[in-house]
């Protein structure tokens, strides 16, 4: 039966497909409601697409994003099926604006799949960031030792879990010593406005690398559901920057509006650190302002369709990792 729902052929192409993330994780776009035109119709409270041009829809979508009119984008929703290590899930769940149903270790047996970072992502604690890792990889010998220790600990945890389950100990108790590297799964449904907030934070370079990997795949899926909204998000949120009063005054000393656009103010060459301090900017704010004025790198979150997997294939792998699945 032909649907009357708004759909996007690019989104339909990946619907229900599974894209691998990390070593055993995945993200799948299970369902979606609405597209760019749905945002326009909600904003105008109109009856259907009519004869409006794409350029007009784009103009409105960008206006709404630029001026923080968020309610129309709440009318679009995306539902994902995701598998991630538990430590990533604990970060992820801090975004309390989604509907979540997680895999139950009380009801179902846990697939014994564990995350191991690749060597290039294994690093010491950053000296400048208390919650992040150093930019460079740690020595190879340290990495090999860490992997060996992880494998020993996980082998013991997996054997204990299998033994407890085999002795018919309650599953809610058998699971309690499984490590944070164990993979969990959930269905995660969120509206577009709150998804933008999640993606802005989790694709940022200072986010943990592992959750960045999930956010990048989800951004690629969003690009297929609502490409005009995706473009506005990249331009105004991901690659844009807000300015404080002091920052605006500092830039205003160097530039002025003209009839044709903007131009340099005559006789102004630099606003130095002392002048920025007089405008109320701290040392950190000055550093952040310099970063805002640096080169803009526009990311492209395109999905590699050659990596998309069928649901049945992913389900088989998960089932084979459950204790006793071959008995």
- The rounded Cα 308 to chain-centroid distance in angstroms is 18
Contact 65, 232 (CB under 8 A): yes
Nearest alpha-carbon partner for 8 in 191, 195, 226:
226
Cite the active site residues: 202
Cα separation values, 13 from 28, 32, 304, Å: 12, 13, 12
Nearest alpha-carbon partner for 323 in 151, 173, 165, 154:
165
Tokens of 11: 């989104």
* Run of H or E including 77: strand 77-85
Q: Which residue's entry shows tokens 């395109």?
A: 302
Q: Tell me the sheet residues that pair with 19.
A: 27
Q: Which residue's entry shows tokens 């604006």?
A: 97
Tokens of 92: 């992820």
């Amino acid at each position: 039966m032909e649907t009357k729902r708004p759909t996007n052929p690019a989104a339909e192409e990946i619907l229900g497909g599974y894209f691998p993330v990390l070593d055993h994780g995945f993200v799948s776009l299970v369902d979606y409601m609405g597209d760019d035109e749905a945002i326009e119709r909600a904003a105008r409270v109109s009856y259907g697409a009519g004869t409006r041009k794409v350029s007009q829809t784009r103009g409105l979508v960008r206006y709404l994003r630029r001026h923080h009119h968020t309610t129309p984008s709440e009318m679009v929703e995306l539902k994902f099926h995701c598998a991630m290590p538990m430590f990533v899930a604990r970060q992820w769940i801090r975004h309390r604006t989604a509907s979540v149903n997680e895999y139950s270790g009380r009801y179902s047996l846990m697939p014994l799949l564990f995350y191991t970072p690749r060597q290039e992502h294994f690093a010491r604690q950053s000296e400048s960031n208390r919650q992040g890792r150093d930019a460079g990889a740690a020595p190879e010998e340290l990495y090999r030792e860490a992997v060996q220790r992880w494998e020993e600990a996980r082998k013991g945890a997996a054997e204990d879990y299998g033994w407890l389950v085999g002795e018919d100990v309650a599953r809610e108790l058998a699971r309690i010593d499984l490590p944070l590297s164990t993979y969990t799964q959930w269905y995660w449904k969120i509206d577009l406005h709150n998804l933008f907030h999640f993606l802005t934070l989790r694709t940022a370079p200072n986010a943990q690398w592992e959750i960045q990997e999930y956010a990048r795949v989800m951004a690629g899926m969003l690009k297929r559901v609502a490409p005009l909204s995706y473009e506005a998000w990249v331009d105004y949120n991901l690659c844009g920057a807000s300015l404080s009063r002091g920052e605006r005054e500092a830039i205003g000393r160097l530039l002025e509006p003209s009839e044709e656009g903007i131009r340099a103010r005559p006789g102004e060459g630099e606003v130095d650190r002392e002048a920025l301090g007089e405008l109320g900017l701290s040392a950190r704010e000055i550093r952040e302002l310099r970063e805002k004025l640096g080169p803009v790198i526009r990311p492209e979150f395109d999905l590699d369709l050659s990596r998309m997997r069928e649901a049945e294939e992913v389900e088989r792998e998960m089932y084979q990792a459950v204790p006793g699945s071959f008995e």
